[in-house]
């Protein structure tokens, strides 16, 4: 995982998807990309960053405007632009415990502080997700 200035949000639970969760992309082990709403009905996009050898899994979780989510889920707005437009981005650190992800830590991060190698490709949109294009 890359190093960054750790800043704890006032309310880390704001980055949790608790309503209208939709899993858009996953592999046999992890959720890769999902969307939903937090307890305040704000739109959330959560995307995996990486996993490490110590059973830690890291996600970007971002609060976005309704219009941004509509455009992203409408298959044409790039994930990278969603991150640029996000009201807030955090890194959520989970630990794998008994085959479940248990939240360990939440830190705010500025988009400008995310290394380019950790950003999605410029053309990464929902169009590239096979399950969404089968409808």
pLDDT of 100-113, one tens digit each?
A: 999 999 999 999 99
| pTM for the structure as a whole | 0.87
CB atoms within 10 A of CB 69: 20
pLDDT of 124-133, one tens digit each?
A: 777 655 444 4
Q: In the sheet where 31-37 sits, what is the strand order?
A: 19-26, 31-37, 43-51, 56-64, 88-97, 100-109
Query: Do 79 and 125 meet the contact criterion of CB atoms below 8 Å apart?
Result: yes
């Amino acid at each position: 995982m890359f190093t960054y200035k750790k800043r704890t949000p006032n309310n880390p639970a704001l980055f949790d998807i608790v309503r209208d969760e939709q899993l858009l992309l996953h592999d046999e082990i992890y959720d890769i990309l999902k969307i939903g709403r937090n307890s305040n009905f704000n739109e959330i996009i959560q995307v995996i960053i990486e996993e490490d050898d110590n059973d830690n899994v890291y996600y970007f979780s971002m609060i976005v405007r309704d219009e941004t989510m509509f455009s992203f889920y409408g298959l044409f707005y790039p994930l990278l632009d969603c991150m640029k437009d996000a009201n807030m981005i955090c890194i959520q650190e989970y630990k794998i415990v008994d085959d479940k992800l248990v939240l360990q830590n939440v830190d705010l991060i500025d988009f400008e502080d995310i290394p380019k190698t950790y950003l999605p490709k410029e053309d990464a949109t929902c169009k590239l997700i096979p399950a969404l294009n089968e409808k």
